[in-house]
């Protein structure tokens, strides 16, 4: 069988488009998940970025070429795609996956195959912690997305303004899926909510395979908190719809990755009404002068607004190009990684900088005012309305009638 299959593979390799060597394009591999809403924007956004760069004459005359792969949300598939990208298609850098499992699985391979790799969507703190712990082996890996602890901090900061100061809330219950990515998130919630003025009454972790959320909501309600602080990603549609159907009289507030996607309203059949979620980008919020033009360009080209990972992937292609330019066209992994570490680029997400090697979160995005900052959005009548920070807000919080807030 081996003898039968190999020629077929080799033939295929020849059939793959090989750009003329003379133009020396910069090839960037993009590994993503087209079937998942969160992953579907990655490749198109990267493609858009490449076209923009090429329209302006490329990187010092060299065009950027995107080679896209689908990993079907499987880590072993992604590893194979990574090997193909590096060894077969000879890409100079890889942008790969919003799934933490896959991002972590690719981390050792970035070192083994000496290729700069950026995740446009995996939030786990473990990624930069691994880089900090073993910088020598993980220095080619960058986290192009804020960490979950950064997410939690942002939720706490906004909650202080929106929930405590504005609505006079005092207590909360943390509701998160039982997953490794929520461990740092929950730990940060527990430590940052009390200073923000919200006392966590309980902390409910549930299996991410849960389909019936009634017991969870009933347990939470029995504790009589003012708000539910969420940490969900694998689930989203189901708790939201059941929250609405059961008319749970408490607002949901926090990280809910699926809720950020523009299609969430449709998927929940409007059940999302009133849900407040943290996001790093939104189509109509000018986080930087580039945000809205990108979102509009994306919609013109693909017919819908990008998901959150679209913004990060778009930026990633741009700052890779920027790094190649600063490295005077050198694309070997060491030079490129060194150049990326010095990134200071204004992207659609805000000002992009990576934390330096000495930091416990090395190669993670720098987060905070003036950098990547994010927003709090609320679903209102099919639209995502930005409610925080005040400088970017384009609406006020509103809740469905069954939700009782103090003020």
Partner 1 sequence: MLVLQILIDGFAIGALYALGATGFTLIFGVSGVLNLSHGALMVAAAAAAWAAHTEGAMGSLASAAIGLTVGVALALATFRLVVRPIQRSPAIRAEEREIFILTATLLWGILIQEAIASLFTSNAKTVPPLIGGVTLLFGVRIPRNEILTAILCWAVIGILWLWVNRTRTGKAVLAASMNSRGVILLGIDLSRIHVAVWAVYGLLAGVAGVLLGMFLGVSSYSVGPLTASAFSIVVLGGLGSVYGSIMAAYAVGYLETMTAYLVSPAYRFIPALLLLVTVMYVRPHGLLGRR
Partner 2 sequence: MAKTAPLRPFWPVLAILALAAFLPLGVSGYVLGLLTLAYYFGVFAMAWDLLFGFANEVNFGTTFLIGVGAYSAGILDNRYGLPIWACVAAGTAIAVVGGLILALPALRVSGPYFGLTTLVAVLLLQNFVIIFSEVTGGEIGLVVPDVITTDAAGNYWIALALLATSGVILTTLSRSAVGLILQASGQDRIQAAALGFNVTRHKLVAFSVSALFSGLAGSFMVFYMGTASIGTLIDITIGVQIIIAAVLGGRRTIIGAAFGAIFLIGLTEILRPTGEVATFLVSAVALLVVILAPNGLTGMVARKARP
The answer to whether the beta carbons of residues 229 and 173 sit under 8 Å apart is yes
Does 407 engage in binding with partner 2 (CB under 8 A)? no
In the bound complex, what is the minimum distance in angstroms from residue 8's beta carbon to partner 2? 6
In the bound complex, what is the minimum distance in angstroms from residue 221's beta carbon to partner 1? 9
The answer to whether the beta carbons of residues 185 and 213 sit under 8 Å apart is no
Nearest partner of 322 among 21, 49, 41, judged by Cα: 49
The answer to whether the beta carbons of residues 69 and 31 sit under 8 Å apart is yes
Q: d(Cα 145, Cα 319) in Å, to the nearest integer? A: 13
In the bound complex, what is the minimum distance in angstroms from residue 131's beta carbon to partner 2? 12
Q: Site mask, partner 2, residues 157-196, x = CB under 8 A?
A: ---------------------xxxx-x-------------
**Binding positions for partner 2, 100-129, rule CB under 8 A:** 100-101, 104-105, 107-109, 111-113, 124, 126
Q: Across the strands, what pairs with 27?
A: 65
Residue 2 contact, options partner 1, partner 2, none, Cβ 5-8 Å cut-off depending on partner type = partner 2
Query: Pick from 80, 219, 325, 398: which binds partner 2 (CB under 8 A)?
Result: 80
Up-side HSE of residue 226: CA atoms within 13 Å toward CB? 18
Query: Pick from 269, 296, 332, 396: which binds partner 1 (CB under 8 A)?
Result: 269
Structure tokens at 268: 């929940």
Dihedral sign, CA of 385, 388, 389, 394? positive
Structure tokens at 312: 């990060």
Strand ranges of the sheet holding 252-256, from the earlier edge strand across to the other edge? 199-206, 171-177, 227-232, 252-256, 276-279, 375-380, 383-388
**Binding positions for partner 2, 17-76, rule CB under 8 A:** 34-35, 68-70, 72-76
Q: By the criterion CB under 8 A, which residues form the site for partner 1?
A: 35-37, 40, 73, 178, 204-207, 209-212, 214-216, 218-219, 222, 235-238, 241-242, 245-247, 258, 261, 263, 266-269, 271, 402
Q: By the criterion CB under 8 A, which residues form the site for partner 2?
A: 1-3, 5-6, 8-10, 12, 16, 34-35, 68-70, 72-77, 79-81, 83-84, 86-88, 100-101, 104-105, 107-109, 111-113, 124, 126, 130, 134, 178-181, 183, 207-208, 234
């Amino acid at each position: 069988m081996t003898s039968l299959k190999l020629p077929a593979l080799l033939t295929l390799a020849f059939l793959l488009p090989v750009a003329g060597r003379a133009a020396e394009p910069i090839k960037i591999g993009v590994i993503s998940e087209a079937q998942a809403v969160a992953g579907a924007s990655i490749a198109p956004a990267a493609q858009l970025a490449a076209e923009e760069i090429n329209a302006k004459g490329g990187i010092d005359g060299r065009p950027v070429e995107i080679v896209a792969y689908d990993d079907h949300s499987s880590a072993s598939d992604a590893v194979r795609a990574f090997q193909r990208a590096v060894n077969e298609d000879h890409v100079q850098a890889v942008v790969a996956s919003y799934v933490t499992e896959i991002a972590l699985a690719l981390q050792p391979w970035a070192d083994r195959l000496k290729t700069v790799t950026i995740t446009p969507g995996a939030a786990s703190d473990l990624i930069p912690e691994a880089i900090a712990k073993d910088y020598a082996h993980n220095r080619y890996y960058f986290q192009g997305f804020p960490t979950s602890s950064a997410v939690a901090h942002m939720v706490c900061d906004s909650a202080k303004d929106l929930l405590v100061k504005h609505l006079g809330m005092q207590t909360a219950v943390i509701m998160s899926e039982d997953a490794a990515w929520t461990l740092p998130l929950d730990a940060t919630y527990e430590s940052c909510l009390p200073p923000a003025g919200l006392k966590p009454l309980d902390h409910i972790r549930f299996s991410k395979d849960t389909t019936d959320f009634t017991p969870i909501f009933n347990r939470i309600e029995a504790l009589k908190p003012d708000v539910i602080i969420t940490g969900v990603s694998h689930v989203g549609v189901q708790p939201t719809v059941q929250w609405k159907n059961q008319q749970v009289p408490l607002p949901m507030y926090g990280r809910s990755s699926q809720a950020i996607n523009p299609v969430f309203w449709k998927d929940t059949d409007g059940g999302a009404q009133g849900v407040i979620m943290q996001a790093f980008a939104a189509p109509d919020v000018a986080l930087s002068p580039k945000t809205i033009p990108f979102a509009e360009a994306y919609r013109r080209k693909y017919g819908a607004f990008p998901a959150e990972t679209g913004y990060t992937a778009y930026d990633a292609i741009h700052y890779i190009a920027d790094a190649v330019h600063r490295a005077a066209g050198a694309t070997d992994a060491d030079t490129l990684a060194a150049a990326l570490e010095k990134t200071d680029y204004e992207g659609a997400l805000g000002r992009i900088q990576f934390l330096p090697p000495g930091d416990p979160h090395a190669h993670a995005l720098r987060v905070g005012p003036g950098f990547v900052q994010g927003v709090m959005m609320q679903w209102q009548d099919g639209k995502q309305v930005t409610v925080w920070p005040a400088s970017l807000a384009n609406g006020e919080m509103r809740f469905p009638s069954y939700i009782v807030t103090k003020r």
